[in-house]
Amino acid sequence: MIIEVGSGPAPSAGEVVDEPNCVAMPGLVNAHDHMYQWATRGYVPDGTLFEWLRALYPVWARIDAEIVRVAARAAMAKLLLSGCTLSTDHHYVFPRGKPGIFEALVETSRELGLRFHPCRGSMSLGESKGGLPPDSVVEEEDAILAHTEELIGRFHDPKPGSMCRVVVAPCSPFSVTPGLMRDSAALARRHGVRLHTHLAETQDEERFCLEKFGMRPYELMEDLGWTGDDVWYAHGIHLSDAEVERVAKAGTGVAHCPSSNMRLGAGACRVEDLIRAGARVGLGVDGAASNEDANLAMEAHQALLLARVRGTSPQAMNARAAWRLATRGGADCLGRDDCGSLEVGKCADIACFRVD
């Protein structure tokens, strides 16, 4: 933990780390990722989200714990090298007969020293029931809930300074049932853990929700009890003016993933509008299958540029605001008041960037 911040003579210490020609910053916070996707970079370079997913689901159906371990090691190493010290990972593909995947993620984070919020994702709505994923990659809902509860008991540490906190994270409105969304929310709140899902990423998703549920994606979340200060969404691109205000009022967070959104042609998150409304907004690299990288510092740069394109003005976002997305904003989404800034009493998560 940080016990003192300031100038002047340094206090006595057992070890002094001297980093000349460097800027010391809060460790960056990655608010959305799919680390297993490091193994499938470069697939479907010109597809929409739904086209990309349909092509990759059969590939992902072949993953196992060892593939996930190797992919996560590479993804986490790249994040650490870019200054990231706290990351979430939204893992929702659990092929039948392939145990140990979630455990591989947690073990790898411990080996590398990355503060970690693993999300137990899920898919239960297969093609035969009107969902997007093939039936081969979906799970039974009772099994999902039981496994999620088991993982919370094994790995979740709510204490300040915790290195691991488990998140409940059904994948998306087009891959799980409303029943699983409700049951997942109840499970998470019973155990005091956070909730995460994809939302309002594409217009295809919006059409799916209107046709299947008669509601826009955010309206569906409100109906299912998936709003509040214990919830954050990935993407949040296609929100109306009224929905932006309601997201902020509910205290719900949004993880902005600019590189992935540009790669898939999904659109641009209304970051500046959400922030003006008072919403919590963080930054995510998303999976490497839709980014080809895991460089969170570069993602802050992409967020800066995309905001200026969307706002048609260099004043739309400055560097300080972009860095805030990658630090305090991400920590806010993850519910970490002990990370994201260099202040007394917070975790000593420090990233040093060379300036020479």
Q: Which two tokens stand for residue 139?
A: 């799970």
Q: What is the pLDDT of residue 44?
A: 96
- Sign (positive/negative) of CA torsion 117, 151, 180, 71? positive
Q: What is the pLDDT of residue 120?
A: 99
Q: Which two tokens stand for residue 131?
A: 């969902």
Look at residue 137 and tell me if it is in a domain: yes
Q: Which two tokens stand for residue 96?
A: 């039948």
Look at residue 11 and tell me if it is in a domain: no
Look at residue 4 and tell me if it is in a domain: no
Look at residue 8 and tell me if it is in a domain: no
| Per-residue 3-state assignment (H helix, E strand, C coil) for the chain | CCCCCCCCCCCCCCCCCCCCCEEEEECEEECCCCHHHHHHCCCCCCCCHHHHHHHHHHHHCCCCHHHHHHHHHHHHHHHHHCCEEEEEEEECCCCCCCCCHHHHHHHHHHHHCCEEEEEEEECCCCHHHCCCCCHHHCCCHHHHHHHHHHHHHHHCCCCCCCCECCEEEECCCCCCCHHHHHHHHHHHHHHCCEEEEEECCCHHHHHHHHHHHCCCHHHHHHHHCCCCCCEEEEECCCCCHHHHHHHHHHCCEEEECHHHHHHCCCCCCCHHHHHHHCCEEEECCCCHHHCCCCCHHHHHHHHHHHHHHHHCCCCCCCHHHHHHHHHHHHHHHCCCCCCCCCCCCCCCCEEEEECC
Q: What average pLDDT values come out for the chain (356 residues) when binned by 10 residues?
A: 87 86 97 99 96 97 98 99 99 96 99 99 95 93 99 98 99 97 99 99 97 98 99 99 99 99 98 98 98 97 98 96 99 99 97 94
Give residue 68's domain range: 22-354
- Look at the chain and report how many structural domains it folds into: 1
Q: Which two tokens stand for residue 53?
A: 């997913």
Find the CATH number of the domain harbouring 324: 3.20.20.140
Return the biggest CA–CA distance within the chain.
68
Look at residue 150 and tell me if it is in a domain: yes
Q: What is the pLDDT of residue 257?
A: 99
Look at residue 143 and tell me if it is in a domain: yes
Q: List, in order, residues 6 or more apart from 229 with CB less than 8 Å away.
A: 250, 251, 252, 335
Look at residue 298 and tell me if it is in a domain: yes
**Per residue in 65-87, pLDDT tens?**
999 999 999 999 999 999 999 99
Q: What is the pLDDT of residue 10?
A: 79
pTM comes to 0.97
**Per residue in 251-279, pLDDT tens?**
999 999 999 999 999 999 999 999 999 99
**Per residue in 177-203, pLDDT tens?**
999 999 999 999 999 999 999 999 999
Q: What is the pLDDT of residue 11?
A: 80
Q: What is the pLDDT of residue 190?
A: 99
Look at residue 9 and tell me if it is in a domain: no
